[in-house]
Structure 1
C-alpha cells in the first residue's frame, strides 16, 4: 500500500435563500433525512453547542455507509468544519468545510470543500482516481441537495410536517418488534401492503421495494426504502429513498417504550411535501393545507393499521401460551 497526495474537491453554487436560512439547514442535522435524499438517519452523540459528534448513515455512490462525523459550527462566520471517522477503525477518512456567504438580503453563495487526506493509505493509483471521482460527485450532489431545499425557504414550514400515533399493548416487546421488523411478511399480514422485496446483506439493514394500496383507493403506489433496525435499543428507522410522488422526503421511526404494564409503540412520520405534485395528487386548485390533511390522514391510517396488527400479534401469542 502506498500513500498518495490528498485529493480536494471544492465547488461553490448560488442559492436563492438568505445566508442565515442556508446555514440553519446545515446546522440542524437531525432534519437532514427528511430534507435531503442522500441521508438515511442521523443521531447526535454529543454536543456542547458549537462542537458535536454525529453518527450518520447516508448513501454515497449507490452504497449505504455509516460514519461518525465531528463538526465545529461557527454561526458568526457561517462555517461548519467536519471530520469524518470510520466508526469501526476510528480512522479519520476525510475532512471538509461548509461556508455560506451572503449575496444580498435574499441570496447567498454556498461552498463545500472536502478532501481525502494524505493520512489515508489509498492503495493503487486507479483506486485513488476512483475515490477522487466519487468525492467530486458527492460534493456536487450535496450542494445541489441543499440548494433545492433552501430555494423553498419561504414555504418550508408549510411543506414540512411531523406527527405521531401510538398504541399500548400488554404483549412482550420482543414480539412487537418482531412484527415490525419482518417487513417481508407484511403482504400476507397487512391489508394495505401488496408486495415487498427485501435485501438484507448487512445485519440490521433492510433494502426494501414496496407496493402498497393508494390512500385514495387508486392505483398501486410503488416505493423504495432503507430500514435500519436497532433491536437492543427498541427502534426501527425507515427512510423512503423512492418516496410516493407527492412527497419529496419521508421518514418513519417505530419506537418501543416499555413501562410497568406493557409497552407503548410509537410511530412517528416526518414528511416534506412535493409542492409541484399537488395538482396531480389532489386535483387542480389543491392547496398545501389540503395536501397536509390528506397526507396526515393517509399515512396516519396506514401507521395505525400496522400499530394495531403489532399489538394483536404480541397479545395473541400470549393468549395462545396461556
Structure 2
C-alpha cells in the first residue's frame, strides 16, 4: 500500500433524463469516444459477468495517456466502480465510481468519485493529477449530460469509404502510420507535425487544404495497432464539427490482397452552420458538405496508399 498521500474528489451534475439512460452511457465504454471529449479510444480486454477489464486511451492536461482499469457493474444500484490496473506516470494509482441517483422518472444526479495518489512524493505531481481529474471530470459530466438529454437529432453521422489493394496490408499500414511523410505524399496536406513519445500513441497536427485553396488546422490523437488498425480522435476541430472520430481498418481478403476502410463519425456544430456555409444552409446541407469533404480526403489518401502498396508488391515480384 502506498505511503504517498491519497486525495479524494467528487464531481456532480444533474441530468434531465431518466437514470437508466445516464447509466447506460457510463456502462457502455464502446460509446465513450463519442460521448466524452477526453476519451480517444476504449476497448474491452476481458469480461466475466458484471466485471470487466478495459483499456482506455485519453488526453490529460494536453498529453495522451493510456491505461487499463478493472470495472464492476451494479445495474440495480446504477453504479460502476473502477480501479486502474496499470497507471501511467505521474499517477501511482487511481480508482473511484460512477453513481447515478434517480431524482424523478425523468431526471437524475450523477456523481463521479475519484481517489488517487502520485507515483512520487512530489506535491507537484499530485497537483498535476488533481488538475487533470478536475478538468476531465467536469468535461465528462457535461458531455454525459448533453448525450443523455439529446433527443435523437441528426447531428451525428457515420460513414465509410473502402478500397481494395492488391498488395500487403503492412505496406498500407506503413503508409497510414508514417503521417510525418504526408506533406510529401498527400496533395491536400499543407503542413504536418507528428509526435510519438510512446510507440503506437501519436499526436498528429495538420494543415489541410480545401477546394477553395484555404487551409484549416486539425490536431488528433491516434492509437496505432500494428498492421491492422489506426483509431483517432480530433482534439482540434474545424468549425463545422464538435466531434470527429475515425478509424483506418485493414482487413485481409480471401484470395489475396486487403480491403482498407476509412470510417468517420462526426457530430455537426449546428451553431456554426450559417456562419460557415451561408444563411440558407441547413443541417442537411452541413451533413452533406462534411461528408463530401471528409470522403474526398479519405479516398485520396486510400488511393495513394493503394498505389504505394501495389507498387511495392510489383517490385517484389520482379526477378
User: How many residues get paired?
Assistant: 315
1:178 counterpart SS class? helix
Give the structure 2 partner of residue 192 of structure 1.
188
Contact 1:85 1:92 in 2 (8 A): no
1:179 aligns with 2:188: no
Give the structure 2 partner of residue 82 of structure 1.
82
Deviations 1:97-137 (A, max 9, x none): 111223334432211111126xx764245544444444344
In structure 2, runs of 5+ residues without a counterpart are none
How has the CA–CA distance of structure 1 residues 280 and 155 changed in structure 2, closer, same or farther, with 3 Å as cutoff? farther
Contact 1:225 1:239 in 2 (8 A): yes
In structure 1, runs of 5+ residues without a counterpart are none
d(CA) in 2 for partners of 1:320, 1:133: 53
Q: Give the deviation of 1:218 after TM superposition.
A: 5.9
262, 270, 277: which is aligned to 2:272?
277
Q: Give the deviation of 1:5 after TM superposition.
A: 4.4
How has the CA–CA distance of structure 1 residues 258 and 212 changed in structure 2, closer, same or farther, with 3 Å as cutoff? same
1:32 aligns with 2:28: no
Contact 1:36 1:145 in 2 (8 A): yes
Q: Give the deviation of 1:63 after TM superposition.
A: 2.0
1:268 aligns with 2:266: no
Alignment of 1:71-220 (within 5 A): 71-86=71-86, 93-116=93-116, 122-151=120-149, 153-156=150-153, 158-214=154-210, 217=212, 219-220=214-215
2:21 counterpart SS class? helix
Query: What TM-score, normalized by structure 1, do the two folds share?
Result: 0.88
d(CA) in 2 for partners of 1:243, 1:313: 29
Q: Give the deviation of 1:299 after TM superposition.
A: 1.3
How has the CA–CA distance of structure 1 residues 49 and 297 changed in structure 2, closer, same or farther, with 3 Å as cutoff? farther
1:224 aligns with 2:219: yes
227, 231, 234: which is aligned to 1:237?
231
How has the CA–CA distance of structure 1 residues 5 and 298 changed in structure 2, closer, same or farther, with 3 Å as cutoff? same
More off after superposition, 101-110 vs 257-266: 101-110
d(CA) in 2 for partners of 1:73, 1:63: 29
Deviations 1:10-56 (A, max 9, x none): 12222233323222221221122233221111111122463221111
Give the structure 2 partner of residue 251 of structure 1.
245
Contact 1:3 1:122 in 2 (8 A): no
How has the CA–CA distance of structure 1 residues 123 and 59 changed in structure 2, closer, same or farther, with 3 Å as cutoff? same
How has the CA–CA distance of structure 1 residues 315 and 5 changed in structure 2, closer, same or farther, with 3 Å as cutoff? closer
Q: Give the deviation of 1:319 after TM superposition.
A: 2.9
Q: Give the deviation of 1:235 after TM superposition.
A: 1.2
